[in-house]
Amino acid sequence: MGGGRPVLLLHGLFSSAEMNWIRFGHAQTLVDAGFEAIMPDLRAHGQSGAPHDAASYPHDVLVRDVMAVAEELDLEDYDLVGFSLGARTAVSCVLAGLTPRRLAMCGMGLSGLSGWERRGAFFIDAIDRFDEVKQGDPAYLAVSFMKQMKVDRVAARLLLEAVEDVDAGDLARIGMPAAVICGDKDRDNGSPQELASALPLGRHIEVPGTHMSCVTKPELGQAIAEFLAS
């Protein structure tokens, strides 16, 4: 969408480009601010393929996919934005060699990057107990969202096992201006302030909402657009 400087937008776990960026107007906000929103569905999500063979999910497969998209589109002067799993993927892409002008990590904190084993295990458990989870269970919201999004659980489980931790010490290598944009009630992935402090040119930007609800509010898109335009 749009026709200005490209912004590559990576959605969150079990979500899609439509749900994360289009439905609640964030992509349109970026277009109105003069950007081009490029919004792939990650592997095993949305309209992208969801193969059931383990060979389709090598180490850091999402990083490989995003870098392939950037190469195919010949992106040079562009920005990179991710939400939750998309934020983790965006960070890993920069550490692997992508050089966006600016980097925005939404719904992310320091322990969410460096403590993926615990976070990933939570979602794998939710998949494994999918038919047993009832209201009041810590996994209830995750299972409800998977049902809403009609997630392919076999593919999602394989993908979760392919995601790797980010070494907090490597964050010092991220040289571009970076924003950690997080809901004021969102600590699902740890402290956004600690993540911003670990980045050489990091800043923390607070928007209203929890990890799930901040995506539904216009302030998220506005914060992204203002950061990228500054």
What is the predicted pLDDT for the residue at 149? 97
The percent of residues in the chain predicted with pLDDT above 90, rounded, is 96
Per-residue pLDDT band for 79 (boundaries 50, 70, 90) equals very high
Q: What is the mean pLDDT of the chain?
A: 96
What is the predicted pLDDT for the residue at 117? 84
What is the predicted pLDDT for the residue at 136? 96
**For the chain, where are the E strands, in sequence order?**
5-10, 35-38, 79-83, 103-106, 178-183, 202-207
What is the predicted pLDDT for the residue at 100? 98
Measuring CA to CA, which residue among 87, 117, 72, 64 is closest to residue 214? 87
**Are the C-beta atoms of 129 and 25 separated by less than 8 Å?**
no
For 132, the token pair is 């047993």
Per-residue pLDDT band for 94 (boundaries 50, 70, 90) equals very high
Q: Hunting for tokens 């969102």 — which residue is that?
A: 186
DSSP-derived pairing of the beta strands 202-207 and 178-183: parallel
Average pLDDT on 182-196 reads: 97
Domains observed in the chain: 5-114+165-229 (3.40.50.1820)
The percent of residues in the chain predicted with pLDDT above 70, rounded, is 100
Q: pTM of the prediction?
A: 0.96
Higher pLDDT, 114 or 101: 101
What is the predicted pLDDT for the residue at 115? 84
Average pLDDT on 56-75 reads: 97
The one-character DSSP state at 42 is P
Would you say residue 116 has pLDDT above 90?
no
For residue 108, the SS3 value is coil
Helix, strand, coil in percent for the chain, rounding step 5: 45, 15, 40
